[in-house]
Structure 1
Amino acid sequence: MNRTGIVARVSIPSLADLHAIGAVQQPSYADPVSRDAAVETLRRMPPLVFAGECDALRDRLAQVSRGEAFLLQGGDCAETFEGVTAENVRNKLRVLLSMAVVLTYAASVPVVKVGRLAGQYAKPRSSDTETRGDVTLPAYRGDAVNGFDFTPQSRAHDPQRLVDVYNASAATLNLARAFTTGGYADLRQMHVWNTDFVRNSPVRERYEKIGHEIDKALAFMDAIGVDPEEFHTVDFFSSHEALLLEYEHAMTRVDSRTSLPYDVSAHFLWIGERTRQVDGAHVELLSRIANPVGVKLGPTSTPDDAIALYEKLNPDRVPGKVTFVTRFGAGKIRDLLPHLVEKVTAAGLEVAWVCDPMHGNTFETDNGYKTREFDDVIDEVRGFFEVHRSLGTWPGGLHVELTGDDVTECLGGGNRLSSLDLATRYETLCDPRLNRAQSLELAFLVAEMLAER
Structure 2
Amino acid sequence: MSSREPWSPSSWQERRAGQQPHWPDTGALEGSLKTIAEMPPLIFAEECRSLQTHLGQVAAGNAFLLQAGDCAESFEEFSADNIREKLRVILQMAIILTYSVGVPTVKVGRMAGQFAKPRSSDFEKVGDLEIPSFRGHIVNDPTTTEAARMPDPERLVQAYNQSASTLNLLRAFTKGGFADLSRVHAWTQEFVAASPQGQRYEQLASEIERALSFMRACGIETEQNASLSEVDVFTSHEALILGYEEALTRKDSLTGEWYDCSAHMLWIGERTRELDGAHVEFLRGVGNPIGCKVGPTTTAEYLIELCETLNPSRIPGRLTLITRMGADKIEDGLRPLLRAVTDSGHPVVWACDPMHGNTFTAPSGRKTRHFDDVLREIGGFVRAHRAEGTWPGGIHVELTGDDVTECLGGSEELDDTQLDDRYQTICDPRLNGRQSVDLAFRVAELIRDFT
Normalized against structure 1, the TM-score is what? 0.96
Measure, in 2, the Cα distance between the counterparts of 1:308 and 1:348: 13
Tell me if the contact between 1:10 and 1:288 (Cα under 8 Å) persists in the aligned partners: no
Determine helix, strand or coil for the equivalent of 1:437: helix
Percent of residue pairs identical: 54
2:357 aligned residue: 360
Letter in 2 for 1:448: E
**After superposition, what is the alpha-carbon deviation per residue over 1:189-210, rounded to whole angstroms, capped at 9, x for unaligned?**
1111215143232212221111
Give the alignment partner of residue 338 of structure 2, picking from 323, 336, 341: 341
Q: Which runs of 5+ in 2 are unaligned?
A: none
2:390 to 393, 396, 411: 393
Q: Secondary structure at the match of 2:250?
A: strand
Q: Which residue of 399, 409, 413 corresponds with 2:410? A: 413
1:65 matched to which residue of 2?
59
1:95-174 counterparts in 2 under 5 A?
95-174=89-168
Secondary structure in structure 1 of the residue aligned to 2:396: strand
User: Would you say the 8 A contact 1:78–1:429 is kept in 2?
Assistant: yes
1:325-336 aligned at under 5 Å gives the runs 325-336=322-333
The reply to whether residue 262 of structure 1 matches residue 256 of structure 2 is no
2:351–2:395 CA contact under 8 A, matched in 1:
yes
- Residue 344 of structure 2 aligns to which amino acid in structure 1? A
Inter-partner Cα distance in structure 2 for 1:20 and 1:135: 34
What root-mean-square deviation, in Å, do the aligned CA atoms of Structure 1 and Structure 2 show?
1.3
Match of 1:225 among 217, 220, 228: 220
Q: Which moved more, 1:188-197 or 1:312-321?
A: 188-197
3-state DSSP class of the match of 2:412?
Answer: coil
| Counterpart among 38, 41, 59 of residue 35 in structure 2 | 41
Matches for 1:73-92 after TM superposition, within 5 Å: 73-92=67-86
Matches within 5 A, 1:152-301: 152-194=146-188, 196-223=190-217, 224-227=219-222, 228-301=225-298
Check if 1:320 corresponds to 2:326: no
**Structure 2: distance between partners of 1:83 and 1:74:** 18
- Partner amino acid for 2:187? W
- Change in Cα spacing, 1:140 to 1:195, as seen in structure 2 (3 Å) is closer
Tell whether the 8 Å contact from 2:320 to 2:348 is kept in structure 1 after alignment: yes
The amino acid across from 1:57 in the alignment is L
Shift in CA distance, 194/30, structure 1 to aligned 2, threshold 3 Å: same
Deviation per CA, 1:261-286, whole angstroms, max 9, x where unpaired? 00000000000000000110000000
For structure 1, which segment, 225-234 or 99-108, has the greater mean C-alpha deviation from structure 2 after superposition? 225-234
Q: Is the 8 A contact 1:10 1:261 kept in 2?
A: no
Measure how far apart 1:151 and its partner are: 1.2
CA shift at 1:82, angstroms? 1.7
Retained in 2: the 8 A contact 1:410–1:434? Answer: yes
Separation of aligned partners in 2, 1:97 and 1:197: 16
Q: Which runs of 5+ in 1 are unaligned?
A: 1-6
Partner of residue 4, structure 1: none
1:13 Cα deviation after fit: 4.6
Identify the residue that residue 424 of structure 1 maps to in structure 2.
421
TM-score by length of 2: 0.97
AA in 1 matched with 2:381 = F
Structure 1 residue ranges (4+ consecutive) displaced by more than 3 angstroms after TM superposition? 7-11
Are 1:10 and 1:254, in contact at CA under 8 Å, matched by a contact in 2?
no
